[in-house]
Structure 1
Amino acid sequence: MAQLTTLARPYAKAVFDAAKEQDAIDSWGQALAFIGLLAADDTVKNILANPGLPEERKAELFFDTTDEQLPEALRNFLLILAESKRLALLPEISTLFAFYRAELERTVNMKVSTAFEMTADQQQKLAEALSRKLERKVALETAVDRSLIGGVVVNTGDLVIDASVRGKLAKMAKALGT
């Protein structure tokens, strides 16, 4: 996975810079998100791995499946990926594009797991507190996990904040050597 990300990084940076230059980060981001999901599908992966299918035809597969007409520069980008036999990198390119966009907009998406459903007011207060702490705009995705007993677990990328009762009990058990 890390190797794919390393290979995808220059392509993602190039397409992000092109989208930024054309003031089309929104539309290109949506198109790349869809194309990335499509490229991650097992059936599409098999098609992309088929050595008997011309690379240009593989790129056209993505042109044919999008509801709207792709911008010419994005179509050219897909053709360049096909020519370089790098269409399989599209899921990683899409993920990196979203990361670059979040960095530019200073936003972060966080997954919040709680033992009980959070009210809208609680979600807003948590988002505001995290925004102040991280100095970024925070968007929360909430989920209920009854095994937490109480408290909250916040995840984003490699950052995990475990303020759950289950997490505190686990730390206490470890400290006691059990």
Structure 2
Amino acid sequence: MAELTTLARPYAKAVFEAAKERDAVGSWDQALALVGMLAADGAVKKILANPGLSEQRKAELFFDTAEEQMPEALRNFLLILAENKRLALLPEISTLFTFYRAELERTVNMKVSTAFEMTPEEQQKLAEALSRKLERKVALETAVDRSLIGGVVVNTGDLVIDASVRGKLAKMAKALGS
């Protein structure tokens, strides 16, 4: 995974800068998400690994699928990826592009797990508190996890805030076991 990220990073930075220059970050993010999702599909992976198919034809498969959403400059980017035999990096490039967009727009998507369903008011209060703490606009994705017993677990990327009863009990058990 880290190797794919390392290979994908220069391509993602280049396509992000090109999108910024054209003031098209949002539309390119959507188009890259689509082709990234396609490239992650098992059947498409087999096609991309087929040595009997030309790299040009492999790129054209993406053009045919995402025709309306594919700006001309992004088509050229896919051709460059195809020439360098890097179309398989599209899922990682898309992920990095979305990360760069979030950094530019100072936004963050956070996953929130709670023991019980949160009301819209509770979600709004939590989003506002996290926004103040992180100095970013926060979008929440909520899920119910009854095993938490109570409280909340918030995570995004490498940041995890565990304020659950289960987490506190685990810390107490560890402290008592020492």
Shorter-normalised TM-score: what interval? over 0.9
Aligned counterpart, 2:73: 73
Q: Is the 8 A contact 2:36 2:91 kept in 1?
A: yes
Alpha-carbon shift at residue 109 of structure 1 (Å): 0.3
Q: Is the 8 A contact 2:56 2:79 kept in 1?
A: yes
> Normalising by structure 1, what TM-score?
0.98
Q: Which of structure 1's runs of 4+ aligned residues deviate more than 4 A?
A: none
Alpha-carbon shift at residue 69 of structure 1 (Å): 4.9
> Alpha carbon RMSD of aligned pairs, Å?
0.9
Residue 92 of structure 2 aligns with an amino acid whose one-letter code is: E
Structure 2 spans left out of the alignment, 5+ residues: none
Residue 106 of structure 2 aligns with an amino acid whose one-letter code is: R
Residue 120 of structure 2 aligns with an amino acid whose one-letter code is: A
Alpha-carbon shift at residue 130 of structure 1 (Å): 0.3
Residue 131 of structure 2 aligns with an amino acid whose one-letter code is: S
SS of alignment partner, residue 68 of structure 1: coil
SS of alignment partner, residue 152 of structure 2: strand
Question: CA offsets, 1:127-163, max 9 Å, x none?
Answer: 0000000000000000000000000000100111000
Question: CA offsets, 1:21-55, max 9 Å, x none?
Answer: 00111110000001101100011011001111100
> Normalising by structure 2, what TM-score?
0.98
Q: State whether structure 2 residue 133 is matched by structure 1 residue 130.
A: no
Aligned counterpart, 1:112: 112
Aligned counterpart, 2:83: 83
Aligned counterpart, 2:45: 45
Residue 63 of structure 1 aligns with an amino acid whose one-letter code is: F
**What is the distance in 2 between the residues matched to 1:69 and 1:44?**
19
What fraction of aligned residue pairs are identical, expressed as a percent?
A: 87
SS of alignment partner, residue 153 of structure 2: strand
Aligned counterpart, 2:4: 4
Q: Is the 8 A contact 2:113 2:145 kept in 1?
A: yes
**What is the distance in 2 between the residues matched to 1:35 and 1:69?**
10
Residue 174 of structure 2 aligns with an amino acid whose one-letter code is: K
- 1:18-57 equivalences under 5 Å are 18-57=18-57
63-72 vs 160-169, greater mean Cα deviation: 63-72
Aligned counterpart, 1:94: 94
Aligned counterpart, 1:169: 169
**What is the distance in 2 between the residues matched to 1:70 and 1:3?**
27
**What is the distance in 2 between the residues matched to 1:155 and 1:69?**
31
Alpha-carbon shift at residue 67 of structure 1 (Å): 5.0
